[in-house]
Structure 1
Amino acid sequence: MNLKNLKYYMFAGMMAMVSLTSCSEDTDEDTTYANWQERNVKAFSDTLKIARNNTADWKVLLKYSYVGQTSNSTNKLVYNDEDYIAARVLKSGTDTMRVMSTDSVVVHYAGYLINGHCFNKSWTGKFSELTARPSKNSVLGFIDGFSTALLSMHKGDEWEVYIPYSLAYGTSDQGTKGTSAYIPAYSTLKFNIKLVGIFRAGEKVYIK
């Protein structure tokens, strides 16, 4: 095992990463939010470094609305780490169709905090490809980091996506503290995403 892989697996343990087919059902309140912003910024920074050093398995993607921006001679564009997401490719689909900003999609997904707590997922109980019904939404109907990932995915892709708080829910809490759906302010988020279907504008979206 080389040093890059060793660093990844060490960090993977810290992030308590889990597969697409599992998600904790624990609804106990997590009271370990001390230094939460600092810890989350560092967690994302560490992940971004791993992604940039492992380009065969990872992607580093600029926020979709910044792509294609141009600068002039007096105002040069400068992007910060928080303007990117990091995505690890778990499986590549065989379909060549790529998502457009005007599309709708159907996806399986599960979202986690850096402590491994699952705050949301698109199915109930244990995941089964045969029984789980994917979620449907417009591509730009998700948080910016999620949409950024989708816009670089193909049907059938499965990605593990890391989103800084600036491209997630920012500086505001989401949900009620003490509930399973609570997301503290400044949270770096991890999503396991499987892109099941892509529908162009005007097409009827259906779920099998």
Structure 2
Amino acid sequence: MAGCDGSSEHQPIEDKEAFRQSLLEKALNDDTRKAGNEFLANNLKQPGVQVTASGLQYRIITDATGAKPARDQIVEVQYQGRRVDGGIFDATAEGKSIKFPLNQVIDGWREGLSMMSVGSEWELFIPADLAYGARSPSVDIPANSTIIFTVKLLGISDAGAQE
């Protein structure tokens, strides 16, 4: 039997599988966002957790009074990234650090690090909309994930500075 557009009502198996996969991903992502929102609601009740107007939550582990980075500067950090289920998806190697431009990271990092002073260590609880949103940057971070970073700010430098 043909459809109104003259096509067969039977879709190729590949199309059905792709459609089913997209529905599965949508369901997973809705569950992922829901789990993140529940985590953030409960996390806000924890001692020392603060929240910004954007929804970024943070907890100061070690405070410092050093300089704070501007968005156009290079930051040097040590970090560990986790999902709300506790699974680690990224981290600097033990005893190592990484440098990158602050204006080239996710919004939650940019906001959190710009409030930190050199020498401080914070835990950032980043809602999906301040992280990767509806896109999945890797198999370890589903789309719409709330993510958590423990970040130690070791230094800042100007973007044009030579090392």
Please classify the TM superposition score into its range, dividing by the shorter chain length: 0.7 to 0.9
Aligned to 1:91: 62
Confirm whether residue 111 of structure 1 aligns to residue 81 of structure 2: yes
**Structure 2 counterpart of 1:163, from 113, 116, 126:** 126
**Hey, which of these two has a bigger chunk of helix by percent?**
2
Number of corresponding residues: 135
Q: Secondary structure at the match of 1:151?
A: helix
Asked if 1 retains the 8 angstrom alpha-carbon contact of 2:101 and 2:159, the reply is no
C-alpha distance in structure 2 between counterparts of 1:136 and 1:106, whole Å: 4
TM-score, scaled to structure 1: 0.60
Asked if 2 retains the 8 angstrom alpha-carbon contact of 1:111 and 1:192, the reply is yes
Asked if 2 retains the 8 angstrom alpha-carbon contact of 1:86 and 1:161, the reply is yes
Aligned to 1:58: 49
Q: Secondary structure at the match of 2:56?
A: strand
Report the alpha carbon displacement of residue 135 of structure 1 after superposing the two structures with TM.
Answer: 0.8
Aligned to 1:137: 100
What are the ranges of 5 or more consecutive residues in structure 1 without an aligned counterpart?
1-32, 63-82, 177-181
Aligned to 2:154: 196
Aligned to 2:18: none
C-alpha distance in structure 2 between counterparts of 1:114 and 1:120, whole Å: 13
Q: How does 1:30-49 map to 2 (within 5 A)?
A: 35-47=31-43, 49=44
Please list every run of at least 4 consecutive aligned residues from structure 1 whose deviation after the TM superposition is greater than 3 angstroms.
none
Asked if 2 retains the 8 angstrom alpha-carbon contact of 1:61 and 1:149, the reply is no
Choose 1 or 2 for highest CA Rg: 2
Q: Which amino acid counterpart does residue 50 of structure 1 have in structure 2?
A: K
RMSD of aligned C-alpha atoms?
A: 1.8
Q: How many percent identity over aligned positions?
A: 27
C-alpha distance in structure 1 between counterparts of 2:35 and 2:159, whole Å: 40
What are the ranges of 5 or more consecutive residues in structure 2 without an aligned counterpart?
1-27
**Hey, which of these two has a bigger chunk of strand by percent?**
2
Given the superposition, is the C-alpha separation of residues 173 and 202 from structure 1 closer, same or farther in structure 2, using an over 3 Å criterion? closer
C-alpha distance in structure 1 between counterparts of 2:129 and 2:120, whole Å: 25
Asked if 2 retains the 8 angstrom alpha-carbon contact of 1:61 and 1:148, the reply is no
Report the alpha carbon displacement of residue 122 of structure 1 after superposing the two structures with TM.
Answer: 1.3
TM-score, scaled to structure 2: 0.75
Task: Provide, for residues 87-142 of structure 1, a one-character-per-residue CA deviation record: whole Å limited to 9, x for no partner.
Answer: 100001242x111111111000010001100000111xxx3xxxx22111001111
